[in-house]
Chains A and B, each alone.
Chain A
Amino acid sequence: MTDSHSHVAHQFDDLAQQQDASNLGMWAFLATEVLFFGGMFAAYAVYRTLYYDAFVAGSQHMDVLLGAINTAVLLLSSLTVALGVHEVKRGNNAGLTRYLLLTITLGLTFLVIKGFEYSHKYADGLIPGVHFTLDGPEHVGLYFILYFVMTGFHALHMIVGVGIMTAMVIMTRRGRFSPEYHNPIEVSGLYWHFVDIVWIFLYPLFYLIRVHP
């Protein structure tokens, strides 16, 4: 038995098949995630269609700049993940660790900025059911409910992502990965990119409804 075969679980013919299977499994999970977030995007689309003025009024309370910074932070973090996967395929585990730590830092930056935004919303009385004092058009609360539920679930996915990436750093330091075997890095990357994609849609939908004069 050669060294590279020791990474192949007994149900697989070879490494390539094992790699394909783990990627496919992650995509099956991501398909359920697409529909999980999809339901909320559908709710957003329906209520935005019905109560457009309320959505415009609600979105005037968003911090476009903080949202923009967070978008850039997440796009950069996707790049660092992709570069990390690239390094492990070439056996550069030090490079992988560096990119994973960079990714975690960017992820935490996103969460801290989001935390500031949430606390501003609380101070301004914009959290339905908790502290809501906005005297806007009818149904303006719906905009904020969707905002907190959708960005909240997104932030929860970010927290999970940071946890997964931390586990990947520990596994990398224990020498688990090599150019032959790095499925966990690859599928963790898929998850991270998916969470990034969700934000790619959340940002224009909540922050940029009507910013033009």
Chain B
Amino acid sequence: MTGGGFSRRIYYAVGITLLVLFLLTVGVAYIDLGALNIVVAMAIATFKTILVVLYFMHVRYSSRVTWVFVSASFFWLVILLVLTLSDYVTRGV
């Protein structure tokens, strides 16, 4: 595969968006949202990850089988976290 990829402008746009989201993460942390603080922080981090994966890591135009591998790693991570926490959170210790 020669050429391909995104234009330089898109990389800069993604880079600047990531920095803005990072500043947002820090800013929101200084506001007391109670239990929502962690939810907002993780939502922003997940969104940043999606940007990095799709644009910097070129998954947006990668082959279908690459999509399967990327989704599988995310899927197993969700199983690991959700099933583990569903135990601890519901035990009522």
Contacts and interface: CB of A to CB of B under 8 A. Distances in A.
Interface of A: 15-16, 19-20, 23-24, 27-28, 30-31, 34-35, 38-39, 41-42, 45-46, 49-50, 64, 68, 71-72, 75-76, 78-79, 81-83, 85-86, 89-90, 179-180, 186, 189-190, 193-194, 196-197, 200-201, 203-205, 208-213
B41 A204 contact: yes
Contact of A204 (B42, B58, B89): B42
Interface in B47-86: 48-49, 52-53, 55-58, 62-63, 65-66, 69-70, 72-74, 76-77, 80-81, 84-85
A16 B69 contact: no
B25 A204 contact: yes
Nearest to B48: A200
B14 to A, nearest CB: 8
Interface residues of B, number: 52
Chain A interface SS verdict (over half) = helix
Contacts, number: 146
B92 to A, nearest CB: 12
A72 B19 contact: yes
Contact of B57 (A38, A90, A193): A193
Given A28-B69, A30-B73, A212 B30 contact: yes
Nearest to B16: A79
A49 B80 contact: no
List of 6 A-B pairs having minimum Cβ-Cβ separation, nearest first: A31-B73, A79-B15, A208-B29, A204-B41, A34-B73, A27-B69
Given A15-B1, A204-B41, A212 B74 contact: no
A50 B11 contact: no
Contacts of B81: 38, 41-42, 45
A34 to B, nearest CB: 4
Contacts of A86: 5-6, 8, 11
Contacts of A189: 56-57
B52 A193 contact: yes
A208 B25 contact: yes
A90 B3 CA distance: 6
A102 B80 CA distance: 36
Contacts of A41: 81
